[in-house]
């Protein structure tokens, strides 16, 4: 993960492609640190086709670097999604998040 602490982060996926996201929120629980991300588009028209779904990832440290990883535990994912839903409901129109599956 690049640029931790700023409003934008660049994430490299498993295919090596880079994607830019806006950090919508971050939270720390007894289970760890987590971020809710929204995709950033170079062309504003591309955002019209986006479903606006939050990307929720866990922040882990590996070899001295902070990295974003999918939340593997479904119960933990649901718990963190509920926290973000509550925290962000005033800023964003959020549909039921319990339909969202954790990234694999």
Q: Give percent helix, percent strand, percent coil of the chain, each to the nearest 5.
A: 20, 35, 40
Q: Where do the domains of the chain lie?
A: 8-93
Residue 35: other Cβ atoms inside 10 A: 22
Give pLDDT tens digits for 33-73. 999 998 887 766 554 555 567 899 999 999 998 889 999 99
DSSP class per residue in 8-36:
EEEEE-TTS-EEEEEEEEEEEETTEEEEE
pTM beyond 0.75: no
């Amino acid at each position: 993960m690049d640029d931790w602490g700023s409003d934008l982060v660049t994430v490299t996926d498993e295919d090596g492609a880079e994607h830019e996201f806006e950090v919508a929120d971050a939270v720390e629980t007894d289970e760890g640190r987590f971020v809710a991300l929204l995709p950033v588009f170079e062309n504003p028209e591309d955002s019209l086709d986006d479903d606006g779904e939050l990307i929720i990832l866990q922040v882990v440290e590996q070899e001295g670097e902070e990295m974003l990883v999918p939340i593997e535990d479904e119960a933990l994912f649901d718990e963190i999604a509920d926290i973000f839903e509550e925290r962000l409901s005033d800023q964003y129109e959020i549909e039921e998040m319990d339909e969202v599956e954790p990234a694999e």
